Amino acid sequence: MQPLDEALRTCSAAEEAHAGIPAPVEGAPTPDPNVIMNSALRQKELVEHLAYTANCWGVCQARRAAAALRHIHDDLVNVKEMIRHMQASTPRTASC
């Protein structure tokens, strides 16, 4: 999940840089407000998509971990049953 975190940090830094653009120098051409708005909207959509992907990745990892733990639990139950079966079938000897 580290690459996704890095991507989110990069996008966040890009948003901060975009928001911090100083007013245009007097006499310099002013960027088209529609271009700026579209750029900001695309950045926002990218950040939202990356956050969604990171969340899905986390859910996927949690499901894999749960499946592995379920398998371990089932194996432990089987071993316990085998031990119980072996104890029941083994004749007990008198202790001294």
Domain map (residue ranges) of the chain: 36-83
Measured between alpha carbons, how far is 77 from 61 in angstroms, rounded to an integer? Answer: 24
Measured between alpha carbons, how far is 24 from 60 in angstroms, rounded to an integer? Answer: 46
- Measured from the Cβ of residue 54, the count of other Cβ atoms closer than 10 Å reads 16
Q: Is the pLDDT of residue 96 over 60?
A: no
pTM over 0.85: no
Tokens at 59, concatenated: 């859910």
pLDDT of residue 44: 92
pLDDT of residue 79: 94
pLDDT digits (tens, 9 = 90+) for 30-69: 778 888 898 899 999 999 998 888 888 888 888 889 999 9
pLDDT digits (tens, 9 = 90+) for 6-15: 766 666 666 6
DSSP-based three-state secondary structure for 12 = helix
pLDDT of residue 75: 95
